[in-house]
Amino acid sequence: MRIHHLNCGTMGFGVIDHCLLLETRDALVLVDTGFGLEAVRQPAKMLGASRFLMGAKPAEGETAIRQIQALGFDPRDVRHIILTHLDLDHSGGLSDFPEATVHVHGPEFRAATATPTLSERLRYRAAQWSHGPKWMVNEVDGGEDWFGFTAVRDLPGLPPEILVVPLLGHTRGHAGVAIDHGNGWLLHAGDAFFTESSIHPEEPFTPFWWKVYETGAIVGDAYRLNQRRLQELRKLHGDTVTVVNSHDAGLFARVAGR
**Ranges 32-41, 58-67, 113-122: which has the least confidence:** 113-122
**If pLDDT is split at 50, 70 and 90, which confidence band does 49 have?**
confident
| Mean pLDDT of the 34-52 span | 94
* Model pLDDT, residue 115: 81
Res. 192: pLDDT tops 90:
yes
C-alpha 202/C-alpha 199 separation (Å) is 9
What global pTM score does this model have?
0.96
Kindly provide the b/e burial profile for residues 236-247, where b requires at least 16 CB atoms within 10 angstroms of the residue's own CB.
Answer: ebeeebbbbbbb
**If pLDDT is split at 50, 70 and 90, which confidence band does 180 have?**
very high
**If pLDDT is split at 50, 70 and 90, which confidence band does 65 have?**
very high
Res. 116: pLDDT tops 90:
no
**If pLDDT is split at 50, 70 and 90, which confidence band does 183 have?**
very high
Res. 139: pLDDT tops 90:
yes
DSSP string across 220-254? HHHHHHHHHHHHHHHHHHTTTEEEE-SS-HHHHHH
* Model pLDDT, residue 28: 98
C-alpha 213/C-alpha 118 separation (Å) is 18
- H helices of the chain, where? 37-41, 43-47, 50-54, 64-70, 106-113, 118-123, 208-214, 220-237, 249-256
Residue 207: CB atoms within 10 A of its CB come to 12
> In this structure, are residues 34 and 9 in contact, taking their beta carbons and an 8 Å threshold?
yes
Long-range contacts at 229-232 (CB < 8 A, ≥ 24 apart): 229/148, 229/149, 230/167, 230/189, 230/192, 230/193, 230/199, 231/199, 231/200, 231/201, 231/204, 232/148, 232/201
For the chain, what percent of residues have pLDDT higher than 90? 86
- Which residues have a Cβ under 8 Å from the Cβ of 222 and sit 6 or more positions away? 168, 169
Which of 221, 235, 227, 234 minimizes the C-alpha distance to 205? Answer: 227
Conformation bin of residue 132: beta by default, left when phi > 0, alpha when psi is -120 to 50: left
CATH class, domain 2-256, is: alpha beta
